[in-house]
Amino acid sequence: MVRKRGLIHKVKHLLKKAGMPKYLHHFGPKMYKLWQHVFALFFKADCNLSYRRANQILSELGFKVASKSTLQRYSAKLKLPFWRKIFDFTVESASSIFAIDGTGLEKTNASKHYIKRIDGEYKFSKGFHFSIAVDEKGKIQNFRLRKNYEHDAKDIKLLIRAARNKPKIVIMDKGYDAEWIHEFLEFQGIQSIAPVRSNAKRGFFRKKLMKNFPKELYGKRNMAESIIHAFKQKFGSSVSSRNIASARSEVYCKAIFHNIFLRIFQVLGQTHLFSNVYKEKNIVSEK
Q: Which CATH class is domain 97-286?
A: alpha beta
CA distances to 100, 105, 184 from 220, rounded to whole Å, are 11, 24, 21
Sign of CA dihedral 240, 244, 246, 252: positive
Is the separation of the CB atoms in 140 and 133 below 8 Å?
yes
- Taking only the tens place, the pLDDT of each residue in 132-177 is 999 988 899 999 999 888 888 899 999 999 999 999 999 999 889 8
Residue 117's pLDDT is 67
Residue span(s) of the chain under CATH 3.30.420 come to 97-286
The residues, ordered by sequence, that sit 6+ positions from 55 with a Cβ below 8 Å of its Cβ are 40, 65, 66, 67, 68, 71
Residue 156's pLDDT is 93
Comparing 121 with 49, which gets the higher pLDDT? 49
Mean pLDDT score across all residues of the chain: 82
Residue 111's pLDDT is 61
User: Over 70: is that where the pLDDT of 180 sits?
Assistant: yes
Confidence bin at 279 (pLDDT 50/70/90): very low
Residue 79's pLDDT is 87
- Taking only the tens place, the pLDDT of each residue in 7-24 is 788 888 888 888 888 887
Residue 284's pLDDT is 40
Closest CA to 137 of 254, 220, 251, 214: 220
Residue 281's pLDDT is 44
- Taking only the tens place, the pLDDT of each residue in 86-132 is 999 888 777 889 999 999 888 766 566 666 666 666 554 468 899 99
Is the separation of the CB atoms in 215 and 228 below 8 Å?
no
- Taking only the tens place, the pLDDT of each residue in 230-260 is 999 888 888 888 888 999 999 999 999 898 8
Is the separation of the CB atoms in 180 and 205 below 8 Å?
no
